[in-house]
Amino acid sequence: MKKIANISLLFLLTAAFPVNTHAQERFTAETMWKLGRVSDVQLSPDGSAILYGITRYDLASNKGNRDIYTLSRNAESPRQLTDFKGSEINAIWRPDGKKIGFLSAESGSMQVWEMGINGEDKVQISNIEGGINGFAYAPDMRSIVYIADVKLEKDVHDLYPDLPLANALVYDELMYRHWDNWHDYAYSHIFIAGYTDGKLSQGKDIMPGEPWDSPLMPNGGMEQIAFSPDGKQIAYTCKKLKGKDYAISTNSDIYLYDLASGKTENLSESNPGYDQDPVFSPDGSKIVWRSMATPGFEADKDRIMLCEINPKALDGLKKGIESKSSSSGRSTIMTSRVFTDLSEGFDQSSSNFTFSPDGKQLYFISGTEATYQVYRIDIATRKIIQLTRGDHDIQAFSLDGKDLIITKMRHDLPSEVFRVKPDGREEQLTFTNREILKNVKLATEQKRWITTTDGKKMLVWVILPPDFDPNKKYPALLYCQGGPQSAVSQFFSYRWNFQMMAANDYVIVAPNRRGLPTFGQEWNDQISGDYGGQNMLDYLTAIDSLASEPWVDENRLGAVGASYGGYSVYWLAGNHNKRFKAFIAHCGIFNFESMYLETEEMFFVNYDYKGAYYDNPRPKSYDFSPHNFVRNWDTPMLVVHGGYDFRIPYTQGMQAFNANQMLGIPSRFLFFPEESHFVLKPQNSVLWQREFFRWLDGFLK
């Protein structure tokens, strides 16, 4: 393997957690579950305060609770606004800034509540049967949009009322289960309700009888629904397909609903891929959303699609022109709307759109070189400027005059809120976990660019143990990322936590191998149909490069990963040529043939495998299935899987474990009956960490 081309050592212990010469504690799973998790940060309408939530977990009770906080400008500490028994979610400023709305199940089902800006006068303002899953105020405060489940299809008790104790599910079409839930014959629908005198009326279903969901299941939220500035229209995301068509397609669309007429228009009908997250311009003349052009490909570039809906704008563009092209963008006139891909020529995905107050500029988040930054595009000139820099992941932002209020994380920093000045200077505003981490000695980090077998440069994060001694030799772990298209960025994970691994005296090698975003679409797309190809060579290049360091013991190497990372471990097990001494595979794909007909979103396997195993000719990608290489397996392996994982069913893990057992290879099966593709319960997570290191320590130390 070639020598490393460039090495720059980054010590990421910043002012957020100043170095304490007396710190002796190592980062543990128990410490991790004490951390408060900051989310959903929003600036008040007048810019005087930020609103956010903090989720904290109690390990003994195995439960979490989320409360709402505000931090006023120049305040010394945040103010806790809620302390109900359950969690409060979906907290938002009322448009006039005089109230804060939120969802709480304090009265039984999840309902809309309001309170004063200091947490006073909490009042439940809705009483919707079955509860509410999300809501937003109309800008004119005359109405509220909310989402709620509507049962549209018959279950076994409707079909056979004389069998009240029967327990069965009956399906006639795909998709009957998704990620971690079986289809329950209900759909998420959008409702419009009048809002007067602090009360919410029963809403009107704007999708009556329609057997599809908005927002998109399973992870869509209120970001997929937007009010127009005048409160007269709603733009929403929906995938209006059923059965097999739904399972094989990514074709969601942006729909525009008129409150007065009740008419709905499909704005993105011509695009066959994902269209999501609409945002109106301040004057209502434009809508922007993220759009993928390739049908069936869930990791395509997220474009910035702009729709002109102002008739005056149309007049100027219709003068004998059906479409125009330039190096800076393309506009197309269709069905009395003008569509422009603002990001044409910008080789990055974009999300989290916010217009400037005058509507002339658009701010957004985009990934570059395994970090996530805020950018700005001038709509008239299409000029894009990167506004933030540094090794961090910015998760959300708000505009505060010329400043940015951002939420960001790093490998050594759970999410916190910062103010960013126009010159790039940062001021940390929240210190949620300072007291918990002040005596914890954190890892240091190297940022390396390594030359791959095909002459490309690959970014690899190298995380070093606390008290790292270059004169010692350490065991090293190759971290294999999931996705497959999900960047090894500056995330602070609550499962695959690099601080945790380093605290147990392992060197972590985390490559941004082929098939990951933030390095251009060609780098991202290469992996589809080539699972056992160049990206596996990238993995081996990374671990071989680090194994040559004098402080890495080349005889104590392990490989770990989940999802696509779990698949990677299974593949490496049959192709690593004695490099590794231990493996951990969590919810990985073991057998492509059985996986093809066991998973739920068929578009994923159709695109990434390039078709079904029974197609003629048979796609070459099936040659990369790990089960084809089991005859070469010879290394101890821990297999982990969850019972409610419907994306990669637990039978994949069973096959891998059984193969190890039949071959007489030391192996262990860690099964979580109530977990899904992820391990989310606190005590299960701590157990996961303990088993993780018990396994590795037994073979690498």
Helices (H), 248-319: 311-317
Sign of CA dihedral 681, 687, 688, 690: positive
CA distance 342 to 331: 9
Whether cis (ω within 30° of 0) applies to the bond prior to 215 is yes
The tokens for 535 are 């990206």
- Who's near 393: CB < 8 A, 6+ residues apart? 371, 372, 408, 409, 410, 489, 490, 491
Residue 54 has φ and ψ, to the nearest 5°, of -130, 125
Which amino acid belongs to residue 365? I
Q: Which amino acid is at 405?
A: I
Catalytic site includes residue 645: yes
Instruction: Kindly list the distances between the CA atom of residue 226 and the CA atoms of 168, 207, 375, 684, in Å, as whole numbers in the listed order.
Output: 38, 16, 22, 37
Strands (E), 543-643: 552-562, 582-586, 637-642
Specify the amino acid at residue 677.
H
Hunting for tokens 């008129």 — which residue is that?
Answer: 258
3-state secondary structure of 534: helix
- Cβ contact 630:574 at 8 Å: yes
DSSP state of 432: T
Structure tokens at 327: 């190096």
Q: Distance (Å, rounded) from C-alpha 546 to C-alpha 474?
A: 11
Rounded Cα gap, residues 485 and 516, in angstroms? 5
CB 442 within 8 A of CB 16: no
Name the 3-class secondary structure at 232: coil
Burial of 521 (0-12, 13-18, 19+ CB in 10 A): middle
The maximal CA–CA distance of the chain, rounded, in angstroms, is 75
**Token reading at 251:** 């074709």
Is residue 677 part of the annotated active site? The answer reads yes
The encoded tokens of residue 445 equal: 């980090």
- Cα–Cα distance measured from residue 286 to residue 311, given in angstroms and rounded to the nearest whole number: 11
Question: Before 175, cis peptide (omega within 30)?
Answer: yes
CA pair distance 679, 621, nearest whole angstrom? 29
**Which of the residues 87, 143, 188, 563 is marked catalytic?**
563
In b/e form, how buried is each residue of 476-513, taking b as 16+ CB within 10 angstroms?
A: bbbbbbbbbbbbbbbbbebbbbbbbbbbbbbbbbbbbb
Active-site choice (645, 667, 676, 685):
645
User: What amino acid positions are annotated as catalytic residues?
Assistant: 563, 645, 677
